[in-house]
């Protein structure tokens, strides 16, 4: 069994409310948010870091709340520690606890059953408990638009996709990307490969080198820290071999990851700030949607593309916006599974 490096972050938010009658008294409402990560620490340069920085921290800042932060990182020797960390927060009467990643679902399910008065929110997975809300993203919608960009930007007519593992979220990334490429140009060859790890940059470098050697000049990576190796290989080729290669970032704006060689073409970003804002507000206002699954796509403002500088021409952006409008208007349904993609492929 893999060793899991688990981190949990505790954030205490104090919302200050001033009475409308110009009274001098100021009341404070204490509200605690817990965050338990089942992956590789807050500084993973991927999912957890994005959720922490773009989600919880941004929420507190925008709400103009006084924030008291306490960071604790725990190295776990087994997956059982995930449940232990969730219980720690629940025992301290945290009103809302977030858990990230599909591998934490069993732990959230177990703890949420025991602490029925605590609200739980799980990202990128599902838990069917009345005090737990499941949050999924329509990664396929953003990935489709990234595929359109890749298809119009490639010079070799070959592009690649590297996923961290074979799960529903990564498959939505993959099949959405494939659909976007093929919708734009059916003659473009797409190489796909799963790294089967989210924490091995060297494996990312090796896979990227193989895809670049096969002629791909753009790679979309959705592989956690493994994706750092993809950026490393692309930067090395651009600097040393003068190859015109690109990487598509994921989950957060990965422009900085592509510097100094400027290899980040665009990033498919998940709006963690939107998720944290919505769920926290609902929980505080006693409108928590426990037992439900919330989907965040283009229409829900949960997915967006962040371009890096002027790496994408206006003609490409115009095409992307046309497809974006079609998706939002319901005129274009983007596949997110292999079966859906096969049906989509037949319609081309």
> Any idea where the domains of the chain sit in the sequence?
5-137+272-296, 139-269+313-346
In 10 A of CB 202, how many CB atoms?
12
Q: How high is the pLDDT of residue 15?
A: 43
Q: What share of the chain is helix, strand, coil (3-state, %, to 5)?
A: 40, 25, 35
Distance CA 144, CA 118 (A): 37
pTM above 0.85, yes or no: yes
CATH label, 5-137+272-296, candidates 3.40.50.300, 3.40.50.2300, 3.30.1490.20, 3.10.100.10: 3.40.50.2300
Distance CA 221, CA 165 (A): 11
Q: How high is the pLDDT of residue 5?
A: 47
Task: Say whether 139-269+313-346 and 5-137+272-296 share the same fold.
Answer: yes
Distance CA 197, CA 245 (A): 23
Q: Tokens in use for 98?
A: 């977030």
Ordered per-residue pLDDT tens for the chain, 348 residues: 444 445 555 555 544 333 334 333 333 456 788 888 765 555 655 566 667 667 777 776 776 655 554 333 333 445 777 898 899 888 987 889 998 877 789 999 999 999 999 999 999 999 999 999 999 999 999 999 999 999 999 999 999 999 999 999 999 999 999 999 999 999 999 999 999 998 899 999 999 999 999 999 999 999 988 999 999 999 999 999 999 999 999 998 999 999 999 999 999 999 988 888 899 889 988 999 999 999 999 999 999 999 877 899 999 999 999 999 999 999 999 999 999 999 999 999
DSSP-assigned states of every residue in 111-136: HHHH-TTSEEEEESS----TTEEEEE
Q: How high is the pLDDT of residue 14?
A: 46
CATH label, 139-269+313-346, candidates 3.40.710.10, 3.40.30.10, 3.40.50.2300, 3.20.20.70: 3.40.50.2300
Contact 173, 194 (CB under 8 A): no
Alpha helices in the chain (DSSP H): 47-50, 58-62, 80-91, 105-114, 139-153, 168-184, 201-213, 226-240, 272-284, 314-328, 338-346
Q: How high is the pLDDT of residue 42?
A: 59
């Amino acid at each position: 069994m893999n060793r899991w490096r688990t981190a949990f972050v505790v954030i205490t938010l104090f919302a200050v409310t001033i009475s409308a009658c110009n009274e001098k008294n100021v009341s404070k409402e204490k509200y605690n948010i817990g965050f338990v990560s089942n992956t590789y620490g807050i500084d993973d340069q991927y999912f957890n870091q994005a959720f922490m920085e773009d989600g919880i921290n941004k929420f507190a800042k925008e709400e103009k709340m006084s924030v008291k932060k306490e960071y604790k990182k725990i190295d776990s020797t087994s997956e059982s520690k995930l449940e232990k960390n969730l219980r720690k927060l629940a025992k301290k009467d945290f009103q809302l606890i977030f858990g990230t990643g599909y591998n934490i679902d069993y732990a959230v399910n177990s703890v949420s059953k025991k602490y029925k008065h605590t609200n739980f929110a799980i990202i990128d997975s599902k838990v069917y408990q009345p005090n737990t809300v499941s949050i999924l993203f329509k990664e396929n919608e953003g990935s489709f638009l990234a595929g359109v960009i890749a298809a119009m930007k490639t010079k070799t007519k070959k592009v690649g996709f590297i996923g961290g593992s074979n799960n529903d979220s990564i498959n939505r990334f993959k099949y959405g990307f494939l659909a976007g490429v093929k919708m734009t140009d059916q003659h473009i060859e797409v190489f796909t490969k799963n790294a089967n790890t989210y924490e091995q940059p060297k494996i990312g470098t090796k896979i990227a080198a193989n895809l670049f050697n096969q002629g791909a000049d753009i790679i979309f990576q959705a592989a956690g820290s493994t994706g750092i190796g993809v950026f490393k290989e692309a930067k090395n080729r651009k600097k040393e071999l003068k190859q015109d290669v690109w990487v598509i970032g994921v989950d957060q704006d990965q422009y900085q990851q592509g510097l100094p060689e400027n290899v980040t073409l665009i990033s498919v970003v998940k709006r963690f700030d939107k998720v944290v804002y919505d769920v926290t507000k609902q929980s505080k206002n006693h409108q928590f949607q426990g037992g439900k699954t919330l989907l965040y796509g283009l229409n829900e403002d949960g997915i967006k593309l962040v371009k890096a500088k002027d790496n994408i021409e206006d003609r490409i952006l115009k095409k992307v916006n046309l497809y974006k409008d079609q998706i939002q208007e319901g005129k274009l349904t983007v596949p997110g599974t292999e079966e859906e993609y096969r049906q989509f492929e037949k319609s081309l």
